[in-house]
Structure 1
Amino acid sequence: MKITRIEAIPYSIPYVHPLHFASGSVAEADHVLVRVHTDEGIVGVADTPPRPYTYGETQKSIMAVVEDIFSPQLSGLDIFARDRMQTVMDRTVHNQTAKGAVDIAVWDVIGKYLNQPVSSLLGGYTDHMTVSHMLGFKPAQELLQMALEFREKHGINTFKLKTGRHPITLDIEAARVLREGLGPEAHLYMDANRGWSANESAEVLRQTADLGMEFLEEPDDAREVLGRRRLVTNSSIPIAADESAPDLGTAAREILTGGANFLAIKTARSGFTEATKILGMAQGMGIDVYVGNQIDTQVGTIASVTFGAAFAHTSKRAGELSNYLDMADDLLAEPLSIEDGKIFVRDVPGVGTAIDEDKLAHYRNH
């Protein structure tokens, strides 16, 4: 079975609750739906989230690289030639989420062809992922109220606090209010999105040492080399690399050179094939990982669940899987549900990303 073409469909869905964080904000999901077509009529589907302030990709750039470069280069390849596809796409630098979507869509085709859930093909460790929810920039009491509502309605008890504002007057206050309001049983961690300096990060760690924060993600710019490594060495909690480690090479660099001792894996930017390589490297080095979120739609979220549930090492921590709840609508034909703080793998061939074609037509950018 061979690839015949790869299609990129732009669409836009507004957010009911825009998410604000140190490196930008998102008020609308201006995403790209990627479809891999084959000569046997099986079509694979994946979602692509442009993040211009993180990876430099836009909706238009993703469409261009997928349809003008990847589609002609990959057409004619056997659907199982995944490493060949990776080699071909790697000739084009950057464009991480475009590459990730193509890979996930290829895996979707493979699962449908073999009549197996992709999560089982990847590893089949468990049938669900525990959910973590991201809390964006809002006053501390509003953040607490949101967290309590998510706990009550969805059973979520793990929360990422987006920080990177003023560390003393806003970020530390929010962390303290959340801990006091949610109690010691809640799992809390922070993400500064490179919004602080290394020295500011050290002060935040000092003043939040009694709050039981589990780790701190991207406290400062990883290019602040000496400060970042001093921070990792002296921190009592893990320092996670996210946007500084979007692929296997950069993830290895950050771990081996002391820029981080914890890793985010995001299938939206690595697909399943490269994410598996990152996971194997981390596990071999004794480095913990967690499944991160690109402010994914339900289509992107079920891909993260598919990967995260496949392996023991990714499923032991809550994955960031619930921010689609902030969207006004979605394209997934069978909407996701969070049950007792968990999302379950779709027990269907492929990834489980069947699309509501009427909604796609409605939200498509023509």
Structure 2
Amino acid sequence: MRLADYSLHAYALPYARPVVWSDIVEEAAPFVLLRLTAESGETGVAEVSVKPTWGGVTARSLITTIEEIFIPLLRTLDMSDPHATRRALDRIPENLAAKCLVDNACWDLKAAQMQRPLWQTWQGSRRVELSWAVTRQTPQVMAAEAADMRERYGFRTLKVKGGQGVATDIEGIHAIRKAVGEDVALYVDCNGAYQLDNALDYARAVADAGARVIEDPCPFSPDPAFAALCADSPIPVLVDFYAWSLRDARLFLAQGAQALSAKPGRFGLSDCRLMQDAADAEGRGVVAGLMGESALGTFAALQFAAALRQPMLPAELTWYLAMTEQVTSELPVIENGCVTLPDTSSVASMVDWDAVKRFAL
């Protein structure tokens, strides 16, 4: 399967309200979309979120890197085996966002060639349970949002963004618990806001408040200090931002990480599948993590989530709900906290190209 043509598109989708992440505030979500067309006529697409503090790229820098480095390489390859294509991409150092975008587009191209969705090829489940991420606001506003999303979509698990100060975080957990009731599971993501010396005390505090898992309470490395935190924490420690590669993920597993956040929108589907294999071999958990996806990126990431054999937590793939516009002709439909995957073979067939033009950067 040889490359015949490609195109790259940058766009931004507005949010219903400004979103406060740990490092930036956004009123719209910026993306780059890659479309690959094979000589045989099939088309595959992929999308990545372009936030410099998340992936080290802007839309312009990512597009330039793909056009100058990775498209010339793709033209030399048979893309019929996405894993082999990814190994060829990995001969180029760094450039994770570009590799992720190309990798996911190659998998979508493969799905188009096979005329069946990846979740079926990977023997996944059609029905996938999901969670919602409650981002940083005042505890009362976070509680109101949690109750609203629980009522509208039936989520049984909520991810609570911490990092606003220990007292505020605990107040937020209690407020959310009061708003949604006892039958909703909560876990906390701090995005590394606290220090390693205080991480264990923080884990104990959020566990006492009812959190079941803690994600990135502090910056850490796969070293003995991290191993001690995992061993002493009353709740499992989920590793996200500080594992930048498949190699990092394996090192964290070797130091006792109880779970990994595997993000198709950050690592690519090939490496996410290998991260799943590594975690399974150690008896550890994997979560299909949030990477700010639109509906387009969500459909792609759900292929991976559907094939997780024993997910530690529901997939975090609902962030598209925060956006008021999309570039797909259909949306994932969430009922009772779950989505039922369509039989559509390729995400490329769902793209609304007029919308891509309308929201172009």
Q: Specify the TM-score bucket, using the shorter chain as the normaliser.
A: over 0.9
Deviations 1:332-364 (A, max 9, x none): 111222112111212112246611111111111
Quick one: which of 237, 245, 248 aligns to 2:246?
A: 248
**TM-score w.r.t. structure 1 length?**
0.93
Residue 318 of structure 1 corresponds to: 314
**Counterpart amino acid of 2:93?**
V
Quick one: which of 274, 277, 280 aligns to 1:280?
A: 277
CA–CA distance in 2 between the matches of 1:215 and 1:237?
5
With over 3 angstroms needed to count, the CA separation of the structure-2 counterparts of 1:224 and 1:42, relative to structure 1, is: closer
- Are 1:202 and 2:200 counterparts? yes
**Counterpart amino acid of 2:269?**
F
Residue 51 of structure 1 corresponds to: 51
Deviations 1:78-124 (A, max 9, x none): 22132332122213333223212211211111111111111111x22
Q: How many residues align?
A: 361
Greater CA drift, 94-103 or 185-194? 94-103
* CA deviation after TM superposition for structure 1 residue 202, in Å: 2.1
CA–CA distance in 2 between the matches of 1:216 and 1:23?
19
**Counterpart amino acid of 1:61?**
S
CA–CA distance in 1 between the matches of 2:334 and 2:46?
21
Q: What 5-or-longer segments of structure 2 have no aligned partner?
A: none
Q: How does 1:207-246 map to 2 (within 5 A)?
A: 207-223=205-221, 227-246=225-244
- Are 1:355 and 2:354 counterparts? no
Deviations 1:52-86 (A, max 9, x none): 11331221221112111111101142221323321
**Counterpart amino acid of 2:42?**
I
- Are 1:364 and 2:360 counterparts? yes
Residue 167 of structure 1 corresponds to: 166
What RMSD, in angstroms, separates the aligned Cα atoms of the two structures?
Answer: 1.8
- Are 1:183 and 2:178 counterparts? no
- Are 1:136 and 2:135 counterparts? yes
* CA deviation after TM superposition for structure 1 residue 26, in Å: 3.1
**Counterpart amino acid of 1:197?**
Q
- Kept in 1: contact 2:10–2:360 (CA 8 A): yes
Greater CA drift, 277-286 or 153-162? 153-162
CA–CA distance in 1 between the matches of 2:310 and 2:68?
37
Residue 72 of structure 1 corresponds to: 72
* CA deviation after TM superposition for structure 1 residue 323, in Å: 1.4
Quick one: which of 255, 275, 280 aligns to 1:257?
A: 255
CA–CA distance in 2 between the matches of 1:119 and 1:199?
42
CA–CA distance in 1 between the matches of 2:128 and 2:159?
16
Quick one: which of 263, 268, 274 aligns to 1:266?
A: 263
CA–CA distance in 2 between the matches of 1:304 and 1:332?
15
- Kept in 2: contact 1:239–1:262 (CA 8 A): yes
Determine what percentage of the aligned residue pairs are the same residue: 27
Residue 340 of structure 1 corresponds to: 336
SS at structure 2 position matched to 1:209? helix
**Counterpart amino acid of 1:290?**
V
**TM-score w.r.t. structure 2 length?**
0.94
CA–CA distance in 2 between the matches of 1:19 and 1:226?
35
* CA deviation after TM superposition for structure 1 residue 21, in Å: 2.9
**Counterpart amino acid of 1:359?**
A
* CA deviation after TM superposition for structure 1 residue 235, in Å: 0.1
With over 3 angstroms needed to count, the CA separation of the structure-2 counterparts of 1:227 and 1:20, relative to structure 1, is: farther
Deviations 1:129-181 (A, max 9, x none): 1111111111111111111111111111211111112122x111111221233
- Kept in 2: contact 1:18–1:326 (CA 8 A): no
SS at structure 2 position matched to 1:205? helix
- Kept in 2: contact 1:117–1:347 (CA 8 A): yes
SS at structure 2 position matched to 1:109? helix
SS at structure 1 position matched to 2:45? strand
CA–CA distance in 2 between the matches of 1:295 and 1:353?
21
* CA deviation after TM superposition for structure 1 residue 227, in Å: 4.6
